[in-house]
Amino acid sequence: MNITRENIDELNAVVKVDIAKDDYAPKVEKILKDYRKNANIPGFRKGHVPMGMVKKQYGKAVLVDEVNKLLQESLNNYLTEEKLDVLGNPIPKEQENFDWDKEDYTFEFELGLSPEFDVDLELKKPVTKYNIVADEEMVNNQIESIQKQYGKLISKDEVEEGDVVAGTFKNEEEGIEKETSVELEKVKGKRNLNKFVGSKVGDTLKLKTKNLFEDDHELIQHLGIEHDKAHDLDIEVEFTISEINKRELADLDQELFDKLFGKDQVKTVTELKEKIKEDAAKQFEQQSDQQLMNDVTEALIEKTDFELPKEFLQKWIQTVGEKPMTEEEAKEEYEKSEKGLRYQLIEGKIIKENNLEVNFEDLKAFATDKIKQQMAQFGQMDPSQKELDDIAARILSNQDEVKRLSEQLMNEKLLEFYKENMKFDEKELTYEEFVKEIYK
């Protein structure tokens, strides 16, 4: 067997594989002998079928199969030994009038080669690193939400603003009949609110769904309709009141603090506010980190300029899916995926040059930490090491989970690397300001 490579340019090459009869004949002969031993052909005893008949019936199929196996194995070994960094997979070149009746064969494959480039982490315009903080309004809203959650509902005879009204929404034509509870704080506009105020149990109100709630998504819950239908729904519904309650907020006392955080962990409203700010900061940090990762990715793609074997990749995309694509479809798919491919190459280079690989011990520790976090959410604050190890072993025996966790861990390693090695413009702002800035 002989393998040679011709470099067309820096990004494209053709590999030629010559396979001689001596390369495949011994394996083909052995397989055909095994076929002969086990073949059941009418008129012949098992193991006594003439070899000529076995070759006639099975020879070509076995030959093609073994040559293809040998070809794939030798090509993979060649790419590994030559340390060729290829994009996609080798594409076999079409050969007209290929003849399997010959004894020696030649195959050619097109290769797309990974470009040579350097990654410079020093950006002309530094990326913004957001520090999101909980403002006083957010903290107070969170406290009110806690008080509502742990408060009481007191039955009433007549509806007033701020009440919670239970009842049934109906519209026969649309097939709507849904029992629900409406918080009047979420009803939109004075006109709608006035229809509720002063009503009593047993009263039926006629309401328009359009602009009934501050958020159209409330209609999904209260009417039992699908998401797509909720937007701009404009029908009349009847709401028959079955119960009226006033929400009495829970007192901000030690009993409530202990329910929320454990005994004597929080003792004053001031400490409660600080605790809410701390918890919010942890949640905001995840969003800030994700935005930082997105912005760094975009900046590195923009700054790191290199060519790709575009025509090869478009041709490869045509063949790689379950269904072959047309040239136009492959071109469109390439344009959609080019930016992602560029970052994969940039990311791969950063990982390799800075030894950021994920090993099994890293992965096990990462999985164990995730397990502890999930168990803590369900009140299991101090699981045994054996329990953690057993759960981690089960998770890491699943290849899909290993892949998912490895990607998460590598993302964290890259983020930490960027934080340590890049300069950022830091900006402190509230969550509302952050949302406005990101989605402006």
Residues 40 and 103 in one domain: yes
Same domain, 244 and 97: no
Letter for the amino acid at 146?
I
**Of 248, 274, 293, which residue constitutes the final position of a domain?**
248
The answer to whether 252 and 143 are in contact (CB under 8 A) is yes
> Which residues are CB-contacts of 438 (< 8 A; sequence separation ≥ 6)?
291
The residue written with tokens 């008129």 in the block is: 43
Say what the pLDDT of residue 417 is.
97
306-350 pLDDT, tens per residue? 999 999 999 999 988 788 899 999 999 999 999 999 999 999 999
Adjacent-strand bridge partners of 179: 168
- Quote the tokens at residue 234: 């404009």
Q: Which pLDDT score, from 0 to 100, does residue 50 have?
A: 85
All residue ranges of the chain with pLDDT < 70 are none
DSSP state of 249: P
Give the pLDDT score at 224.
Answer: 92
Residues 265, 408 within the same domain = yes
Domain end among 206, 228, 248? 248
Residues 216, 163 share a domain:
yes
Assigned domain for 224 exists? yes
Tell me the C-alpha distance between 233 and 219, whole Å. Answer: 9
Q: Which of 113, 141, 166 is the last residue of a domain?
A: 113
How confident is the model over 195-242, as pLDDT tens digits? Answer: 999 999 999 999 999 999 998 889 999 999 998 888 888 999 999 999
218 and 299 fall within a common domain: no
The verdict on 282 and 362 lying in the same domain is yes
Can you give the pLDDT at residue 269? 94
pLDDT, residue 216, reads 86
User: Which pLDDT does position 231 carry in this prediction?
Assistant: 83
Selection from 359, 399, 393 nearest residue 385 by Cα:
393
95/160 same-domain check: no
Contact 15, 112 (CB under 8 A): no
Residues 132, 16: Cα–Cα separation, whole Å? 58
Q: What angle do CA 36, 40, 46 make, to 5 degrees?
A: 65
Residue 106 lies in a domain: yes
Q: What is the pLDDT of residue 48?
A: 75
Q: Are residues 368 and 292 in the same domain?
A: yes
pTM across the whole model: 0.74
pLDDT at 22: 94
Helix (H, G, I), strand (E, B) or coil at 135: coil
Asked whether residue 134 is domain-assigned, the answer is no
Strands 105-113 and 12-19: antiparallel
Per-residue pLDDT, 322: 81
Give SS3 for 130. Answer: strand
- CATH code for the domain of 175: 3.10.50.30
Query: Does any domain span residue 381?
Result: yes
pLDDT for the residue numbered 200 = 96
* Same domain for 92 and 228: no
Closest CA to 409 of 398, 397, 401: 401
Counts of helices then strands in the chain (DSSP H, E): 14, 11
> Which pLDDT does position 27 carry in this prediction?
94
CATH number at residue 69: 3.30.70.1050
Q: Are strands 204-208 and 424-430 parallel, antiparallel or unpaired?
A: unpaired
| Rg of the chain (C-alpha set) | 34
How far apart CA 288 and CA 438 sit, in angstroms, is 11
Nearest-5° Cα angle at 77, 74 to 82: 120
230 contacts: CB under 8 Å, gap ≥ 6: 216, 217, 219, 220, 223
Q: Is residue 366 domain-shared with residue 402, that is, in the same domain?
A: yes
* Residue 86 domain-assigned (yes or no): yes
- C-alpha closest to that of 221 among 162, 172, 229, 159: 229
Task: Decide if 371 contacts 140 (C-beta within 8 A).
Answer: no
Are the beta carbons of 88 and 112 closer than 8 angstroms?
Answer: yes
Check whether residue 33 and residue 78 sit in a common domain.
yes
Q: What is the dihedral of CA 263, 269, 271, 275, to 10 degrees?
A: 80
CB 164 within 8 A of CB 184: yes
**Any domain includes 285:** yes
282 & 407 share domain: yes
The pair of three-digit structure tokens given for residue 77, joined into one six-digit string: 């070994």
Going by their DSSP bridges, the two strands 86-92 and 127-133 should be labelled as unpaired
Number of structural domains (the chain) is 3
Query: What range defines the domain where residue 65 resides?
Result: 2-113
Q: Is 169 exposed, middle or buried (0-12, 13-18, 19+ CB in 10 A)?
A: buried
Two structure tokens written together for 18: 């010559």
Residue 359 lies in a domain: yes
Residue type, 275: K
Q: Is residue 265 part of a domain?
A: yes
